[in-house]
Amino acid sequence: MSTSTRQRPIRLGTRRSALAQAQSGHVAAALEKISGRPVELVPIVSEGDTNRASLSEIGGLGIFATRLREALLAGQCDILVHSLKDLPTAIPDGLVIAATPVREDARDVVITRDGTPLHRLPAGAKIGTGSPRRIAQVRIRARRAEVVDIRGNVDSRLARVESGELDAVILAAAGLSRLGSETALQREELGLAEWPTAPGQGSLAVETTADAASDLRAALAELDDENTRLAITVERAVLEGLDAGCQAPMAAHAVVTGDAVRVRSVVYDPAGERRIGLDVTESLNRGYIRSHGSSNEADAADGATLTLAARELGISVARRLLEQGAADLVPREQPL
């Protein structure tokens, strides 16, 4: 690597929201240590930042990613950092997800003023969320409550609970952690067994161009966590196999332990009247695959084989959900 290349900043494209800036800042700091190059944030305004309509009305599909990807392809930045749960399953030509860092807490959190558990909130309690999946889950767990469709950043949502406008909001635990949000409000962590979350929740995706410089790709590869990548590959393959958008009322959460991967997936009726779920554990044969490779090229091939096995598992789970009637519950994914 030449001296000029080593010193040229890596340009990281990011949304302007406080959470996006915080997420990008974590990745930038890690990448600076690995690459020895400065990383500068390039703020980009996405449609999701300017369109204040409900996510359920505008579909949610790619609303936070499209403008950023256009900037990346146009050479306005070198890499992007996304919340993986906001990414459509189809990756545009010319782009690759080069790294999925270690996953944060994938759970949802209920925020209230007094710590009343979600299922004990009184009739008429107002619970704020803009996610069709969370709306369906609330209608199952707190049937007497009223769901309020909301948008806005974390601080504005917390403020609506503090003021008494809402009795509770549901947020991603990872977002609260990355922002370092401090509040006197009470929180209830929702267990993933009973309350699975969106495919990729808690995970970040670092995206770059397919023809990015080899030294940049190598540095990004060091940010990648294999267990996270395999788990989110399974989850996103379930979403892909259902042919549903990333705002569909469905959940999928996978955990990789050794050679085994366990995936819990549920598809919800938006009204909360019906749900179809699967809890599957299968082997990825990682030990066998690893024993047949020793060179760098073999290691790369092993990673591709494992990723393919993870994707096939997710597609299989989706197929089984469809066979049980999930097609009647999820809206079909619409092209951009």
Active-site residues, by number, are 86
Tell me which residue has tokens 């990807």.
Answer: 69
Q: Which two tokens stand for residue 325?
A: 């009637």
Q: What angle do CA 133, 118, 106 make, to 5 degrees?
A: 50
Q: Do residues 293 and 278 touch, judged by C-beta distance below 8 A?
A: no
Could you tell me the CA-to-CA distances from 187 to 31, 125, 165, 234, 243 in Å, in that order? 32, 16, 17, 29, 34
Q: Do residues 199 and 263 touch, judged by C-beta distance below 8 A?
A: no
- For residues 254 and 200, give the distance between their C-alpha atoms in angstroms, rounded to a whole number: 9
- For residues 179 and 203, give the distance between their C-alpha atoms in angstroms, rounded to a whole number: 14
- For residues 144 and 135, give the distance between their C-alpha atoms in angstroms, rounded to a whole number: 13
- For residues 204 and 23, give the distance between their C-alpha atoms in angstroms, rounded to a whole number: 8
Q: Which two tokens stand for residue 319?
A: 């197929």
Could you tell me the CA-to-CA distances from 315 to 102, 240, 243, 265, 330 in Å, in that order? 23, 7, 10, 12, 16
Q: Kindly state the DSSP code that residue 135 receives in the 8-state scheme.
A: H
Looking at the chain, the number of H-run helices and the number of E-run strands are 12, 13
Sign of CA dihedral 37, 43, 46, 49: positive
Three-class secondary structure of residue 55 per DSSP = helix
**Which run of H or of E encompasses 140?**
helix 132-141
